[in-house]
């Protein structure tokens, strides 16, 4: 892209929740690279969040980090309000905050069940509900789901997969509810992504890579590039879609 060609997201503002590391950080960096001014939320990793902001700024972009607990309704809502205030507007919401455990369901403690539901489902719902007070007509909502919503070819994924499957129905409902405002809602379902929390070189790396058709992990940048396209004007007719980026996991 030459200097005279506008960046795809130039003039846009974006909030990426849970973006102090891993997949969310990769999405935030890519949105900024394509021209968006970005806010990220974090909860327990201020140094990591500052590092993401610094990376964006040093590359010529604009970013701010906001502390927000997305597992609590008030925290999720306040994070959106603070982001909109810091950015001056909000055009794009990326629901990236999420977590979970892979463990036998019979051994899963209540606190793991509650935290997964609170962060993955409730956090996404409340962030989105609050963001709709700021998003203009034609805004974008992109939620980060998981390939486990469609296929869990190993034991231990019941609760995590359930939480991500719920986001598919939420997204499809949003597309209908928001169609009159031309706000699009889509969900990206990644397969294995090479992050600190799930490294390709880790003890499960070869096994997980072997479940894909391509035989390797993707990177956070791969997910970020897809999210950035969905957030761009080129994807104006795309809504209610579930986009699987899984290397053939579900093939």
Residues belonging to the active site? 160
For residues 183 and 27, give the distance between their C-alpha atoms in angstroms, rounded to a whole number. Answer: 20
Backbone angles phi, psi at 107, to 5 degrees: -105, 5
C-alpha count within 13 angstroms, C-beta hemisphere, residue 209: 16
Alpha helices (H) along the chain = 22-33, 46-58, 73-87, 110-116, 123-131, 158-178, 205-210, 220-231
Q: What distances in angstroms separate CA 210 from CA 155, 182, 191, 217, one per listed residue?
A: 16, 40, 12, 9
Cβ distance 95 to 17 under 8 Å?
yes
Backbone angles phi, psi at 150, to 5 degrees: -110, -35
Quick one: tokens of 174? 């949003």
β-partners of residue 14 are 38, 92
């Amino acid at each position: 892209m030459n200097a005279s060609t506008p960046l795809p997201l130039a003039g846009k503002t974006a909030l990426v929740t849970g973006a102090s590391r891993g997949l969310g950080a990769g999405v935030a960096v890519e949105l900024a690279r394509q021209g968006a001014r970005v806010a990220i939320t974090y909860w327990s990793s201020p140094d990591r969040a500052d590092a993401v902001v610094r990376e964006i700024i040093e590359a010529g972009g604009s970013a701010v980090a906001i502390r927000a607990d997305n597992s609590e309704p008030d925290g999720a809502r306040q994070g959106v309000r603070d982001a909109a205030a810091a950015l001056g507007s909000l055009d794009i919401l990326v629901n990236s905050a999420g977590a979970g455990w892979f463990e036998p369901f019979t051994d899963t403690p209540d606190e793991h069940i509650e935290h997964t539901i609170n962060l993955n489902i409730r956090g996404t719902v409340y962030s989105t509900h609050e963001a709709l007070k700021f998003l203009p007509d034609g805004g974008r909502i992109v939620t980060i789901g998981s390939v486990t919503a469609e296929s869990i070819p190993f034991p231990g994924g019941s609760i995590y997969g359930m939480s991500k499957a719920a986001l598919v129905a939420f997204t499809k409902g949003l597309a209908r509810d928001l169609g009159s405002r031309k706000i699009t809602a889509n969900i990206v379902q990644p397969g294995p992504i090479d992050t600190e929390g799930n490294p390709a070189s880790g003890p499960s790396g070869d096994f997980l890579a072997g479940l894909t058709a391509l035989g390797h992990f993707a990177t956070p940048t791969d997910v970020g590039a897809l999210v950035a396209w969905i957030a761009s004007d080129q994807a104006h007719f795309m809504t209610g879609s579930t986009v699987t980026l899984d290397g053939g996991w579900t093939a």
